[in-house]
């Protein structure tokens, strides 16, 4: 291994005897006041204004207003009409700011998150089920808790060896049978 191979990249040119200009390409020249860039000539097969208007009138017609440029192109081709290529259809639409979804889109109202509101105790309750570790590895109990959302106190709780919808229904208290205990400071 040569010394110049182990040297940092910024020093390799001097150590190996290379000129810096031979190992790093020059940036492309920019247009300046002394050397302005020439405008690019129009290609000989550029569509005329009449042809561009014909393409736009077909794309905007009632018949094709909901179709993609590909569908318009192949439908016209099946009928024996060739106006321009598919890429020309897209280029013309892009130049006129019309490259977007051409079909009518359904608008859906924003979904509203449900919100529980309680203006006093025992008006609205919420519940949760939590797993509790059992005496052995892999054994769990389910803790059913019912909370009053106004006061945030536990209204009822129940521990079960397994989770079951029927147990949750049976253990849910009725508003008349329970009272909320308020903390005294």
Question: Residues 62-83: pLDDT tens digits?
Answer: 999 888 899 999 999 999 999 9
Residue 150, token pair as written in the block: 């106004």
Q: Is residue 38 part of a domain?
A: no
Tell me the pTM: 0.40
Of 57, 77, 95, the residue that ends a domain is 95
When pLDDT is cut at 50, 70 and 90, the band that residue 180 belongs to is very low
In this predicted structure, which of 10-14, 82-86, 121-125 has the lowest mean pLDDT? 10-14
Q: What is the mean pLDDT of residues 15-36?
A: 64
Across 12-16, 32-36, 108-112, 161-165, which has the greatest mean pLDDT? 108-112
- Look over the chain and give the mean of its residue pLDDT values, rounded to a whole number: 79
Q: Is residue 37 part of a domain?
A: no
> What pLDDT is recorded for position 154?
87
- How far apart (Å, rounded) are the C-alpha atoms in residues 5 and 161? 71
Q: What is the mean pLDDT of residues 9-28?
A: 63
Q: Is residue 111 part of a domain?
A: no
Q: Is residue 177 pLDDT above 50, yes or no?
A: no
Q: Is residue 101 part of a domain?
A: no
Q: Is residue 148 part of a domain?
A: yes
Q: Is residue 61 part of a domain?
A: yes
Q: Is residue 184 pLDDT above 60, yes or no?
A: no
Q: Is residue 88 pLDDT above 50, yes or no?
A: yes
Number of domains in the chain: 2
> What pLDDT is recorded for position 58?
92
> What pLDDT is recorded for position 138?
87
Q: Is residue 90 part of a domain?
A: yes
Within 10 angstroms of residue 171's Cβ, the number of other Cβ atoms is 16
Expressed as residue numbers, the domain containing 129 is 125-171
Q: Is residue 131 part of a domain?
A: yes
């Amino acid at each position: 291994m040569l010394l110049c191979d182990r040297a940092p990249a910024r020093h390799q040119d001097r150590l190996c005897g290379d000129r810096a200009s031979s190992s790093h390409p020059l940036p492309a020249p920019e247009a300046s006041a002394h050397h302005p860039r020439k405008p690019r000539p129009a290609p000989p097969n550029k569509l005329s204004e009449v042809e561009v208007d014909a393409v736009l009138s077909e794309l905007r017609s009632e018949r094709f207003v909901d179709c993609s440029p590909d569908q318009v192109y192949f439908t016209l081709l099946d009928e024996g009409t060739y106006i321009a290529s598919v890429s020309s259809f897209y280029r013309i639409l892009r130049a006129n700011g019309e490259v977007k979804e051409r079909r009518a889109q359904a608008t859906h109202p924003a979904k509203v998150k449900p919100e529980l509101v309680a203006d006093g105790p025992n008006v609205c309750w919420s519940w949760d089920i939590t797993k509790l570790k059992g005496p052995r590895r892999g054994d769990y109990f389910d803790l059913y808790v019912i909370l009053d959302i106004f006061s945030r106190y536990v209204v009822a709780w129940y521990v079960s060896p397994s989770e079951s919808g029927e147990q949750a229904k049976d253990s849910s208290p009725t508003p008349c049978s329970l009272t909320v205990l308020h903390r005294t400071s």
